Amino acid sequence: MGMSQKASWFLRFTQWREQHIGTKNFTLILAVIVGLFSAFAALVLKSLIHFIQHFLTENFSTDEANYLYLLYPVAGIFLAGLFIRYIVRDDIGHGVTKILYAISRKQARIRPHNMYSSVVASSITIGFGGSVGAEAPIVLTGSAIGSNLGKLFRVDARTMMLLVGCGAAGAVAGIFKAPIAGLVFTIEVLLIDLTMSSLMPLLISSVTAATVSYIATGTEAMFRFSLANTFAMERIPYVILMGIICGFVSLYFSETMNKLEDVFRRFKNPYVKLLIGGATLSLLIFLFPSLYGEGYETIELLLNGRDSMEWSAAMEGSFFYGHSQMLLIYLSLVVLFKVFATTATNGGGGCGGIFAPSLFLGCITGFVYSHFCNNIGISVYLPENNFALFGMAGLMSGVMHAPLTGIFLIAELTGGYDLFLPLMITSLFSYLTIRVFQSHSIYSMRLAKKGELLTHDKDQSILTLMRTENVIEKDFKSATIDMELGQLTSLISESRRNLFPVLNKDNRLVGIVQLDDVRHYMFRSELYHRYTVDKFMREPLARLSVTDAMDVVMRKFDETRAWNLPVEDEEGRYLGFASRSKIFNEYRKIMLDYSDE
C-alpha cells in the first residue's frame, strides 16, 4: 500500500470517526490504547534492566570486593551517552520536568523519539549500575505515546494534554502495578486538572496498564511484605518524628542534587562530564555496592529481614561485610552518598529518574531511624520493617511534594494497607516539613523559576499557557528622533494608532510619541520644520522582553497602569507593542479551550 493510499485510508477513517464517535468517547478509546502501550513499554524496560544486571553480576562475590564495580557504571554511562548524543541527538534527561515543560509551553507536544529513546538509554544506564530509577524515563515514554497518538488523530490542545497525562498514569500503574498511584501521581505531580471529563480517561489508562502488568507478571505486589507487627497508637509520636526526619532528608536530597547539577552544567565537554560522573559513581558503588542500580534488592531485604544477620546481607560485596555491628554506619553513609551517585549518573551522561532513589533512601532512612531507637532502648518497640515502609512514603512525599502519591504508591507496592494511618502521618509531616523550605518539588522548581510551570490555579495556568510573542502587535508606524513635525504629522495621518515608537538605526526603541502630546501642534504648519520628534518623545513606562513570562507582563501592566507597552527581543531590539486588549482576548480564548466542556 503506497503512502497516498495510506493517507487516503486514514482520512476516510478520521471522517467516519468524527461522524459516528463523539470526542469524549473517542478520548476514552485512546486512553485504553495509551494504557496498553505504556504498560508494554514498562514491561520491556524492566525486562531489559533485569537481563543486563543479571548477565553482568550473577557471578559476583558476596563476601569480598568486586572490582568490576569500577568498570560497569562508567561503561553504562558511556554507552548511554553515545546513544543519546549520536542517535537521539536530543536531551532526554529530567523526564518528568520535560513533561511539565511540554504541558506548560509546547501544547503538550513531545517528540516521537521519546517513545523509545528513554527506554533504551535508561535500560543501559541502570543495567550497568547507574544509581537512578527507571520510572521517570518510562513516564516520559508513556506521555510521549499519549502525545503522539493525539497528534496522529489531530485532537485539540486540551485532549492532547489529557492524553499526555494518560500516558504518565499508565506508565506508573504499569511499572509499579499500582493503578491508584498512577492516577494520583498524574494529578498531583503533573498537575492535570481534576474534573469528571479528565478523571475517567486517566483512570482507564491506569487500570488498563495495571491489568496488563498483572497478566504478564502475576498479581502479587511489587515488593514482598508481610505485616508481623500491627500498628499501635503509642507509636504515633515516633511516626510523626519519622515524617519530620524524612522531610529533612528530602530537603538534603533535593538541594544537594540541584547544586551538583549546577556543577555538571558548567562543563560543556561530554567526555569531561563522563570522566567526573563515571569516576564518582564507580568509586561510590565499589565502596557501597547497595548503590548499584535501582537498589530494589536492598529494599526487599530491609522490608523482609527479621534480625541483624539477615539485615547485614545489605553490606554484601563491601568492605563492611562480616561486621554486623557496622550496619547502621554503612546504611547512614549510603543515605549520605546516594544523591552523589544519582547526580553523577545523570550528570555523567546517563539517563534515569529519582523515583527509585526516593524509595531506596526512604526505606533505609526508616530502617536506620527505627533500628537506632530500638538499640538505645526506648520504651516503645519500633518494628524496623514497618518503619522502612513509612520511610518510603515519607521520602516520596517530600522529594516529589506529593503526599497522596507517597501514601497510595507504597500501599499498592507492598500490600501494606493495614498501615494506612502511619503511612498518612509520615507522608503528611514529611511534606509539611519540606514545604517550609521549598515551595516546589524537585521536578517543578526549574520551571517555576522561569514562570513556565502549570499549576492547579486556573488563572495562573492560563497565564502560563500564554506566550508574550503571541500578543505582540506590529502595526505601529515608527518615527526617528530627527524626524520633523511635518513628517510626523504625515505619519499620524496614515496610522490607525495613537502611539508611535521612535527607533534608532539599529532598530532599538529610544522613546515613544503619543498622539495627545502632538495634537496641539499638528495643525500649525509654520512649526513643521521648527520642531523634531525629540521634542514630543517620552520614555515608555516600562519595557517588556519577548522572553518574559505572562505573569511578569501582567505585573508590569498593573504597576504602570499602561494600556500598551513596547516589547523587545533578547538583544534589546524593538518588536512591537503588547496591549491589554490583545492579552485579554488571548486569555479568554485559552480559558474557553481550557474549560471543562
10-residue averages of pLDDT along the chain (597 residues): 57 71 85 95 93 86 75 91 87 73 69 90 92 88 92 83 90 90 85 69 94 90 78 92 96 93 89 92 92 89 84 84 86 95 91 90 95 90 92 93 89 81 94 90 64 50 66 87 87 86 90 86 83 87 85 84 88 88 73 51
CB 42 within 8 Å of CB 123: no
Scanning 376-471, the segments in alpha helix (DSSP H) are 384-400, 403-414, 420-437, 445-449, 458-465
Q: How many CB atoms lie within 10 A of CB 590?
A: 19
CB 593 within 8 A of CB 157: yes
End-to-end CA distance of the chain: 39
The per-residue pLDDT for 153 is 84
Cell representation of residue 135 = 520510572
Quote the DSSP letter at residue 229. S
Edge-first strand order for the sheet with 564-568 is 472-473, 574-579, 564-568, 544-545
pLDDT for res 596 = 45
List the grid coordinates of 34. Answer: 495509551
C-alpha to C-alpha distances, 51 to 54, 124, 410, 481, nearest whole angstrom: 5, 10, 25, 72
| Residue of 457, 395, 121, 46 lying closest to 247 (CA atoms) | 395
DSSP labels, 141-175: HHHHHHHHHHHHTT--HHHHHHHHHHHHHHHHHHH
- What is the CATH number that goes with domain 233-451? 1.10.3080.10
Which string of DSSP letters, residue by residue, matches 457-517? -HHHHHHHH--GGGGEE--PPPB-TT-BHHHHHHHHHH-S-SEEEEE-TTS-EEEEEEHHH
DSSP 8-state symbol, 289: G
**Distance separating alpha carbons of residues 413 and 27, to the nearest angstrom:** 29
User: 289 — phi, psi (to 5°)?
Assistant: -55, -20
Task: Report the run of H or E that residue 135 belongs to, with start and end.
Answer: helix 135-152
DSSP 81-94: HHIIIIII-S---S
Do the two domains 8-217 and 233-451 of this chain adopt the same fold? yes
Residue 455 has a pLDDT of 47
Q: What is the pLDDT of residue 597?
A: 41
Give the residue from 447, 442, 279, 253 showing the smallest Cα distance to 362. 253
Residue the block writes with cell 545523570: 346
382, 238 Cβ separation under 8 angstroms: yes
The bridge status of strand 564-568 relative to strand 544-545 is parallel
Contacts (Cβ under 8 Å, ≥6 apart) of 114: 92, 98, 140, 141, 143, 144
In this prediction, residue 7 carries a pLDDT of: 56
3-state secondary structure of 1: coil
Domain ranges of the chain: 8-217, 233-451, 460-594
* CA-wise closest residue to 65 among 261, 316, 317, 299: 317
What are the grid coordinates assigned to 559, written together? 504597576
Answer yes or no: are the C-beta atoms of 385 and 303 closer than 8 Å. Answer: yes
Domain 8-217, what fold?
Clc chloride channel (1.10.3080)
**Nearest partner of 239 among 423, 398, 431, 373, judged by Cα:** 423
Architecture of domain 460-594: Roll (3.10)
Give this prediction's pTM. Answer: 0.76
